[in-house]
Structure 1
Amino acid sequence: MVLLPILHVTRKYISQEYFYKKIKMEKFLIQNFKEVVASILIIIGVLALLIMDDKISTSLRQYLYGFIGICIGYLFK
């Protein structure tokens, strides 16, 4: 019976800590939305090149290289 209040306090502390981390992540995503989108597009482009390398045409491959380059350039502007 003594452990019940301790567990309640611990659970409350953990939920508050999770809530604060969630708010920090949301603020980070809102402030750096364009950079996050550019990073996701880079990952998608690289995965497309790795997975479909032998199946895509040369022009599409060059387009993907250019697209990845533009996204990287945006990140390091």
Structure 2
Amino acid sequence: MQYVFSMTSRMVTIAVSCALLLCLLLFLLGVEIGARMNRAPAQSADALRATPSATAPAPGMQSDLAAPSPLDTGSTAAAPASASSTL
């Protein structure tokens, strides 16, 4: 069986219009991705500059990396019980 493939001028116009619209949308998508990639380092740099001042311990306070206090004996007798039970 033989198939005859023919396109009318209307079908050609629709195909060309869809192809141009696809190219336009892909171009705009590339512009948006490029703008976001260009903006990302500036935002992360602002976040890095703000982070140390926000997380810096107050004077007289111990940070997590500091040596344990003399009151910490290492015993778990005073520690609260864990939420999960093991039976």
Give the TM bin, normalised by the shorter chain.
0.3 to 0.5
Pair member with larger Rg: 2
Could you tell me the TM-score, scaled by structure 2's length?
A: 0.37
Could you tell me the TM-score, scaled by structure 1's length?
A: 0.41
More contact order relative to length (CA 8 Å, sep ≥ 6): 1
Structure ranking higher in helix proportion: 1
